[in-house]
């Protein structure tokens, strides 16, 4: 199977997916989402026991691709709903992945990149890694990621991160329990593989059953919350503030909000 925006490699019981758009800081495009979904499906069906997800170059993922972001302004309501459902599919595929997952965050992971990095079972990050749920800063709503973040850090912390849209570093992410370990950049992949080796000393059957148990515990609540999140994610795109947020971001100017 070939991919244009990622690389997929196997080594023993470890599969590694590398987001491979370094010239775009591994921005999330429609094509990358499709590649990721196909790669996740391939790894799920493989003999791999552990999956490592990382980025090529100096960033893990800078968020949504600018060209794709611009195209959102012309999407129909039906396309907006489909886009939201596709993003849910990606995030849930990673959150509910049957194999153990490790994110090796090699640099900034912003907006959707934060979602990908922090939905893995383990998140290793370099000291200069940055995170941020920045959707409100461009007139968007962090509807889908909020359902997962609430489970990870609780309501008060989630309100802070989602409502301010601020960028936060690896140290704070670790204090919040979102990052498992901070690792020097030169040791990041080696440490991820070391953790993978430790995990593979356990029964692969037990690992899979434990992940299934955790998924089953969360499913009913997530189903209800995500159904609402998809509608909110699509609805916000019809607002004037969303159009202004995207336009001002692309034009590199301060937005002028109207509250409509």
Catalytic residue numbers read 135
77 and 238 Cβ atoms separated by less than 8 Å: yes
Tokens of 108: 């900034």
Backbone angles phi, psi at 181, to 5 degrees: -160, 140
Measured distance between the N- and C-terminal CA atoms of the chain, rounded to whole angstroms: 45
- For CA atoms 226, 227, 230, 235, the dihedral sign is negative
- Which region, left, alpha or beta, applies to residue 158 given φ > 0 means left and ψ of -120 to 50 means alpha? alpha
The vertex-212 CA angle with 210 and 218, nearest 5°, equals 110
């Amino acid at each position: 199977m070939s991919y244009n925006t990622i690389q997929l490699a196997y080594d023993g019981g470890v599969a590694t997916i590398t987001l491979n758009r370094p010239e775009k800081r591994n921005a999330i495009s429609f094509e990358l989402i499709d590649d990721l979904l196909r790669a996740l499906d391939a790894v799920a069906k493989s003999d791999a026991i552990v999956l490592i997800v990382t980025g090529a170059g100096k960033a893990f993922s800078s968020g949504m691709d600018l060209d794709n972001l611009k195209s959102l302004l012309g999407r129909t309501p039906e396309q907006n709903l489909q886009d939201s459902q596709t993003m849910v599919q990606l995030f849930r595929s990673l959150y509910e992945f049957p194999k153990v997952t490790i994110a090796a965050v090699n640099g900034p992971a912003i907006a959707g990149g934060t979602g990908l990095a922090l939905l893995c079972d383990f998140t290793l990050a370099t000291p200069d890694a940055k995170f941020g749920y920045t959707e409100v800063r461009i007139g968007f709503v962090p509807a889908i990621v909020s359902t997962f973040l609430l489970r990870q850090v609780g309501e008060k912390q989630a309100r802070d991160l989602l409502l301010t849209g601020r960028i936060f570093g690896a140290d704070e992410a670790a204090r919040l329990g979102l990052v498992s370990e901070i690792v020097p950049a030169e040791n990041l992949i080696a440490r991820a593989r070391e953790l993978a080796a430790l995990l593979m000393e356990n029964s692969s059957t037990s690992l899979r059953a434990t992940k299934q148990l955790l998924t089953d515990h969360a499913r009913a609540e997530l189903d209800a919350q995500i159904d609402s999140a998809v509608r909110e994610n699509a609805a916000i795109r019809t607002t004037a503030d969303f159009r202004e947020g995207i336009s001002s971001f692309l034009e590199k100017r301060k937005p002028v909000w109207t509250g409509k």
